[in-house]
Structure 1
Amino acid sequence: MTTTVTPERTPEPAPGTAPAGHRSSARRRRVYQWLFVAPAVLYLLAFFGFPLVRNILMSFQEYTPTTYFTGEAPFNGLDNWRAVFSNELFGDALWQTVLFTVGSLVGQFTIGLALAVFFTRRFPLSGAVRAVLLLPWLVPMVVSAVVWRRIMDEDHGVLNSFLETLGLSGGVPWLSSPSVALLSAVLVNIWIGIPFNMVILYGGLQEIPREVHEAAALDGAGPWRTFRSVTLPMLRPVVTVVLVLGFMSTVKVLDLILALTGGGPADSTQTLGTMTYQLSFLQLDFGQGAVVGNVLILISAVFAVLYLRVNRANAGRGK
């Protein structure tokens, strides 16, 4: 008589549930992921989150130099905000910040793109010329501002002497006239920012395949049509990065204006950055200085959100 032994069947997991081994490995994987992300999160909280929150709280407090000794900073509600917004200098500084930022970005990007396109054509000493054009970007901004302050001096500056040599009107009050000083600051900032735009855009142009331009030429497109319809659309991601980084570095410029004009003459070159410095470290009203700083942060945040939306829309079209 033969006895048949039926092997025991391993119970299958219920639908929608993973085996215990898989669940534990997935849990370990998530723990490892958080361990890798944790240093970056802690860094952001310590060096960005805490100062941001502290600055927001300070804008609602009566924060003075005595606070550092007594530790007392009474809550004063919206008094700091009302004082800043009722200050006539705030409106002027906001408008001059817009003019300074837009003028600098347009000038830097236009000249930087033109130079990048120019250097795509190989010629002798092109590398040496590009290296020389990088010097304004390598020199500290304060040093550049001091040098340009000497160059733009109304009486003894090289720039006015050069204009007189060409037979043009000399004696231009580049830094002493309220109607010209902001333009002078924009020109100096354009000179400083051209190398950055040129280098990034030149790298983007190098990534565009030559076959695309050759195909456009075979289709009868001229240089300008090829640039407008082929080069610029393919360069759009690089252009976006250049403009965003340029905006972030320009809207908060402080050292250039302080060394070049000091915010004058007659507050004609005051920006939100210099106003924050003036309120916090000259008038020692840290609460009002924090308000202007928060406005700068808000402007940067709005610009960043717009950039992310545009970038997401472009990515959606690409798909």
Structure 2
Amino acid sequence: MKSTLKDPEPLLETQWPADPVKPRKAGWGGLKRRLAPYGFVSPTVILMFVLMLVPIVMVIGYSFMNNVIMTKHPKFVGLDNYVTILTDSVFHTALANTLAFTFASVAAHIVLGLLFAMLLNSPLLGTRFKALFRAVYVLPWLFTVAIIAVLWRLLLDPNGVINFLLMNAGIIDSKIEWLSSPGTALFAVTFINIWAGYPFYMVSILAGLQGIPKDLYEAATVDGANNFQRFLHVTLPQLKPIIISMAMLDLIWTSQQFALIWMTTGGGPINVTEMLSTYTYKLAFSQYQFSLASAAAVVILLLSMILAFFYIRHQKARD
């Protein structure tokens, strides 16, 4: 007979809990990983500190002293330099000229940039004509400020091409000194700045136009909208963020324009084209009033910071 007894089961080994893994203490390797991002940005931070923060602090300090650099032991004079600047009639003229020059340039840049961008985006033009017009319209953007200043000084010379064409067309009877006459100098430099700056708007708005979905135009057409209504209710709302951003940047750039003014009129004649930038430059390097120039520079910095604040605020709202 077979035995009914089962073989005894093998004894299982006792399973003791494994020792818990102890976390390694963050050593030099962990510290390097944490400091690596700061190491990458440190060269930029150092450059900004040396080239921006230190000069700004020095200029602010100079603005509270009597004539620094020219005086061996300058003394603290408080807000006297600011009072002198803010009560100077030439400063008032420079501020008014800067405002007129800036707002006229920005407004014209927006209008011309939008018109030329829509022209280049129009299906009525062939590919070859679009390429030709793009090359012609973007040409002012390729020139440096020095080339632009020399070019327009030659064109606007009393014996230049502009007077020649206008006299032959019967528009004027005598030669006009566009950059030397108090009645036309500010208009002339504003026109030059408009001509030099509109391609930036044109290229940016053209990119925005090409990014607008065609479905929006098709839906507006189905709803019975004409060309003007499509432009008003589809194109402009889609381009609004781009236009506002560019306008704020242009306000900052144009209000600080120096090279074009200096190389065309030098702020003259009779302070007609004097800007805040040329006014500050003349205080420092023509009159050697470095403390007054520092005070004027601080005022310009505050005005620029106000514009920069609204620009950053708009960008955050847009994001």
1:125 partner SS: helix
Q: Which amino acid aligns with 2:17?
A: P
TM superposition shift of 1:101: 0.4
1:13-28 equivalences under 5 Å are: none
Matching residue of 1:162 = 165
Shift of 1:245: 2.6
Name the aligned partner's letter for residue 228 of structure 1: L
* Structure 1 equivalent of residue 5 of structure 2: none
Spell out, residue by residue over 1:10-50, the C-alpha distance to the aligned partner (whole angstroms, 9 max, x if none).
Answer: 599xxxxxx77799998765423322332222222122211
For residue 284 of structure 2, what is the aligned residue in structure 1?
A: 280
Q: How many residues align?
A: 305
Q: CA deviation at 1:3?
A: 9.5
Aligned to 2:6: none
Please state how far the C-alpha of 1:152 moved relative to its aligned partner. 1.9
- Following superposition, the deviation at residue 148 of structure 1 comes to 1.5
Cα deviation, 1:87-141, whole Å, max 9, x if unaligned, reads 1101111111000000111111210111011101242232132122222222221
Change (3 A) 1:170 1:108: farther
SS in 1 for 2:134: helix
Equivalent-residue separation in structure 2 for 1:47 and 1:131 (angstroms): 37
- Structure 2 match to 1:15: none
Q: Is the aligned partner of 1:41 residue 2:41?
A: no
Which residue is equivalent to 2:211? 207
Equivalents in 2 of 1:279, 1:262: separation in Å?
A: 13
Do the aligned partners of residues 207 and 26 (structure 1) sit closer, same or farther apart at CA in structure 2, a change above 3 Å counting? farther
Change (3 A) 1:283 1:262: same
TM-aligned CA distance change 1:20 to 1:220, over 3 Å: farther
Are residue 307 (structure 1) and residue 307 (structure 2) matched? no
Checking the alignment, whether the CA contact within 8 Å between 1:161 and 1:170 is kept in structure 2 is no
Is 1:95 the counterpart of 2:96 in the alignment? yes
Please give the alpha-carbon distance, in whole angstroms, between the structure 1 residues aligned to 2:28 and 2:272. Answer: 65
Structure 1 CA distance for aligned equivalents of residues 12 and 216 of structure 2: 80
Match of 2:112 in 1: 111
Please say if residues 174 and 184 of structure 1, whose CA atoms lie closer than 8 Å, have aligned partners that are also in contact.
Answer: yes
How far is 1:311 from its partner? 3.1
Alignment partners' CA distance in 2, 1:24 and 1:210: 57
Is residue 127 of structure 2 the alignment partner of residue 120 of structure 1?
A: no
Task: Show CA shifts across 1:257-299 (max 9, x none).
Answer: 1121121111111010110111011001111111111111111
Q: Partner of 1:214: helix, strand, or coil?
A: helix
1:279 and 1:288 in contact (8 A); partners too: yes
Judging changes above 3 Å, is the alpha-carbon distance between structure 1 residues 167 and 209 closer, same or farther for their aligned structure 2 residues? same
Distance 1:297 1:240 in 2: 22
CA deviation vs aligned residue, 1:233-264 (integer Å, no higher than 9, x gap) = 22223223321332222111111111211211
Show structure 1 runs of 5+ residues with no match.
13-18
Q: Which residue of 1 aligns with 2:87?
A: 86
Q: Identity of aligned pairs, percent?
A: 34
- Distance 1:3-1:284 versus aligned 2 partners, 3 A rule: same
3-state SS of paired residue (2:266): coil
SS at match of 1:234: helix
Contact persistence 2:245–2:311 (CA under 8 A): no
Contact 2:70 2:288 in 1 (8 A): no
Output the CA distance in 2 between the equivalents of 1:50 and 1:223.
55
Residue 16 of structure 1 is matched in structure 2 by none
* Equivalent AA in structure 1 for residue 80 of structure 2: D
Task: Give the Cα separation in 2 of the matches to 1:103 and 1:283.
Answer: 30
- Aligned equivalent of 2:7: none
Equivalent positions of 1:162-201 (< 5 A) are 162-171=165-174, 172-201=176-205
Bigger mean CA deviation after superposition, 272-281 or 113-122:
113-122
Counterpart residue number, 1:140:
144
How many Å separate the matches in 2 of 1:200 and 1:109? Answer: 11
Report deviation, 1:313: 3.2
Q: Is the 8 A contact 1:160 1:170 kept in 2?
A: no
Task: Look up the match of 2:248.
Answer: 244
Gap change, CA 1:213 and 1:26, over 3 Å in 2: farther
Q: Distance in 2 between matches of 1:26 and 1:118?
A: 58
Compare CA radii of gyration and give the structure with the larger one: 2
Structure-1 separation of matches of 2:212 and 2:38: 38
Separation (CA, whole Å) in 2 of partners of 1:164 and 1:31: 70
* Structure 1 pair 162–36 and aligned structure 2 pair: CA distance change class (3 A): same
Amino acid at match of 1:162: L
Q: Distance in 2 between matches of 1:62 and 1:116?
A: 52
Letter in 1 for 2:165: F
Quick one: structure 1 residues 314 and 66, their matched pair in 2 at CA, closer, same or farther if it must change by over 3 Å?
Answer: closer
